[in-house]
Structure 1
Amino acid sequence: MVKLQNSIRENNVLLVLSEIINNPGLSRARIAENIGLNKATISEIVKRLMHDHYVIETGIGESSSAGGRKPILLEVNKQAGVSISFDIRYDQISYMINSLDGEIIHKESQNIELNKNNICSIISKIVKDYEKGMENTPFGITGIAIAIHGIVHNNKITFTPYYDLDQIDLASVLEQELSIPVYIENEANLSALAESTFDSDYSNLISVSIHTGIGAGVIIDSELYRGFEGRSGEIGHTTLYPNGIECPCGNSGCFEQYCSHKALMKNYRTIKSDKSLEVSDLIEGYYLNDIETVNLLKEFAVNLGIGLSNIMGTFCPQVLFINSEILFEIPELFNTIKLQVEKTVSKNIPMRLSALGENASLYGGSILAIQNFLQVDSLDFSFLK
């Protein structure tokens, strides 16, 4: 019985903490009203959370129409600690530092070829450099999340087509070196988690990331769907054209061999016979109405629409978000994609370019780390939009 009572008490603490995190600026009375606990219990829990540095009082609210004392408002103690999230591509590392309420403190990217021999030392240096300024905070660095462009299962990288990080136990090595919890997750999954956390209107959504490869994060009933051994959402390796271009995964005709940014740039450099061309040249060529560039991008958009139709028809989400540098720069291509999708899938399913952009996976990483640190089931950061 004592164990059960303790469990209920801890559940109540987490309920109150979740309410304060997801609805900053609430009073004790409003929290009691929202979650159905009496005011005395709420006051006791808030006192404990303040003592333990999780919550702070931030100001005075307006009194009710009946008068009386003005309420004291509460927020999570965002300066008590931070999360650090990383996005690891084969040729770039990006990282973001967030306070406990999701607010960005710092963001940076470095272009560098990453592999199993240098990844741990690079991450460790970034973390240790920042950790020096966290000595006087209650919690310091509360967690590290790492977005991987590949398959992740049980916090371990099991397959990466463009680098060799599946050959090391990255989380274990870093945790031993830094004594900080490390969470490894697929990049598209973290992007989907971010979209869900920043837009609470949708409980079923898909977030498609188009970079070196193509991946999809799937949210079903407000939960991240990982599938068997973390293999859900590997749409980049579904077949777009049977017996087509060979893929590093061992198959041929894979979706990402036609619609990833890497494939697009390879084709662009080929038709222009210039290996030095960059994404900026591609975009400039489109807006200069270069016929070869325009045709290439139209073909890219049609193929992308075909591939997205397959996943939308399979999951039938409430909304599909797309994260693509090319589409951000040339949004009119998005209309071509939508027209292609609408040929086979209901027009009632909205498609949107991600408002989070290149920060989506990093935001998702911070959310994952913060959720684990605070032991809350879900976060709602829609107030930050």
Structure 2
Amino acid sequence: MRARNLAVVLATIHRSGPHTRAALAERTGLTKTTVSSLVSDLLEAGVVTESGAVRGGERGRPGVAVSLSGHRVAALGLEINIDYLAACVVDLTRAVRLRRTRPADNRNSDPARILSGVRNLVKEITAEAEADGLRVIGAALAVPGTVEGGVVRSAPHLGWRDVRVADLVDLPFTIDNEANLAALGELWFGSRETDFLYVSGEIGIGAGVVVEGTVFRGTFGLAGELGHVVVVPDGPTCRCGGRGCLEVYAGQDALLGELASVGELVGRLESGDPRALEACERAGHALGVALTSAVHLLDPGRIVLGGIFAPLYRWLEGPVSEGLGARLGQMRGTPPALVVSATGADAAVLGAAGSIIQQIIAEPAQLLGL
């Protein structure tokens, strides 16, 4: 019962902002004595703080506001991508305290080597966090593949199959698909809309379906494999074994061609390079075809383009919007809003850290040892 009440009080503060102890008692239905005891536990654990005077004390007198604390407890987000490793430390107020990115060539990689690099990154960034007075409570890892029970079942671009990473760090630890965590990153750190389709453009193309603030995963956790929606039935062979998949036309490799980076592609686009413009036109057209199917199936009110699609958005927006409008036709009045991600390349690593923050809020007793 005490664990449940701790969660109720912390969730109330998280959801609706600072409150006096008296106001918390009124909002939660708990007695003032119980709330006072619970707040004392949360203060000791470092997840809340008391400061300032606000109206809401007994008989109208100013009371002390209880709010989330960003000074002692934090979460660690990690990401293994095709060409980098990333980590960030986020405190309970969702402020990003530390962020690190390491370039790396992770294609068809040795899992042991990559995981060793992640461990080194974890040691470095957690040491910095501790030096700043932060206690890292847990960690989550985003990977570009399908995940089941701490095992990366398939990550084709990494060249991984059935790789266990559950013992990666000496912290409470979870692992999830990159696109799902990126969608949650957008939810918690970006637009904060509660219903949308998030499209993650990388070498592969994934999608996260957010419904009422929750990611829809499907029966086997494989929902959102947008990159393998067929856009040209007799098109080139895809890595998955199919033909004409979206990834073949709009994935990072297709967009870059011989170019070395997305930054170089943006430079070419800004200078009006015909080949770069043609690549984005072709990718946008294919993306519009795939998203038309997604709209018919899911009926999202908003589509968010993230990953490498974020810096390329101004060149993709036109062909994607035109493709959606032309194909949806009379079956749907106004196409869903098409917007650029507010979190950009950081979406997945932020979503990973945010998922731990959510766990702390939901189960403070278990995660904080209260």
- TM-score normalised to structure 2 length: 0.87
CA distance in 1, matches of 2:232, 2:112: 36
Secondary structure (helix, strand or coil) at the match of 2:336 reads coil
Question: Which residue type is aligned with residue 26 of structure 1?
Answer: H
State the SS of the aligned residue for 1:171.
coil
Q: Name which of 76, 80, 83 aligns with 1:88.
A: 80
Change (3 A) 1:291 1:125: closer
Contact persistence 2:46–2:73 (CA under 8 A): no
Question: Cα offset for 1:368?
Answer: 1.1
After TM superposition, the structure 1 stretch with the greater mean CA deviation from structure 2, 39-48 or 84-93, is: 39-48
Q: Does 1:335 align with 2:335?
A: no
Distance 2:143 2:136 in 1: 21
Give distance in 2, aligned partners of 1:348 and 1:277. 35
In 1, distance between residues paired with 2:262 and 2:52? 48
Change (3 A) 1:127 1:280: closer
Counterpart-to-counterpart distance in 2, 1:99 and 1:330: 30
2:91 corresponds to: 99
Distance 1:48 1:226, change over 3 A: same
Partner of 1:187: 178
Give the one of 344, 353, 361 matched to 1:357. Answer: 344
Q: Which residue of 1 aligns with 2:368?
A: none
Structure 2 match to 1:43: 36
Distance 1:286 1:136, change over 3 A: closer
Corresponding position of 1:118:
113
Question: How far 1:234 moved relative to its partner?
Answer: 0.8
Residues 218, 233 of structure 1: 8 Å contact kept: yes
Deviations 1:128-152 (A, max 9, x none): 2233355689982211111111111
Residue 325 of structure 1 is matched in structure 2 by 308
* Aligned: 1:256 with 2:250: no
* 1:231 CA drift (Å): 0.8
Note the C-alpha offset of 1:170.
Answer: 0.9
CA gap of 1:359–1:203, structure 2 versus 1, over 3 A, is same
How many angstroms does 1:164 deviate by?
Answer: 3.0
Equivalent residues in 2 for 1:236-251, closer than 5 Å: 236-251=227-242
Q: What SS does the corresponding residue of 1:372 show, helix, strand or coil?
A: helix
Give the direction of change, closer, same or farther, for the CA distance of 1:204–1:131 in structure 2 (3 Å limit).
closer
Residues 327 and 333 in structure 1, CA contact (< 8 A), matched pair in contact too: no
Amino acid at match of 2:65: L
Moved more, 254-263 or 162-171: 162-171
Query: Aligned-pair RMSD on alpha carbons?
Result: 2.6
| Match of residue 367 from structure 2 | none
Check the 8 A contact 2:254/2:279 in 1, yes or no: no
How far apart, CA to CA, are the structure 2 residues paired with 1:147 and 1:304? Answer: 24
1:217 to 182, 194, 208: 208
Taking the aligned partners of 1:200 and 1:13, their CA distance within structure 2 comes to 29
1:20 equivalent to 2:13? Answer: yes
> In structure 2, what residue type is equivalent to 1:73?
A
* Equivalent AA in structure 2 for residue 253 of structure 1: G
2:194 corresponding residue in structure 1: 203
Shift of 1:329: 4.3
Q: Deviations over 1:276-325 (max 9, x none)?
A: 55433432332332333323322221111111111122111232211043
Q: Is the 8 A contact 1:60 1:73 kept in 2?
A: yes
Alignment partner, residue 154 of structure 2: 159
1:182-228 Cα shifts (integer Å, max 9, x gaps):
21111110111122234686433211100111000112233221113
Do 1:85 and 1:146's aligned partners in 2 also have CA atoms closer than 8 Å?
yes
- Distance verdict in 2 for CA 1:298–1:329, change over 3 Å: closer
Partner of 1:74: 66
Is the contact made by 1:283 and 1:330 (CA closer than 8 Å) also made in structure 2? no
Matched, 1:29 2:22: yes
Identity %: 25
Match of 1:58 among 51, 54, 57: 51
Cα offset, 1:73, TM superposition: 1.0
8 A Cα contact 2:47 2:73, kept in partner: no
Moved segments of 4+, more than 6 Å = 136-139
Check the 8 A contact 1:18/1:376 in 2, yes or no: no
Deviates more, 1:347-356 or 1:66-75: 66-75
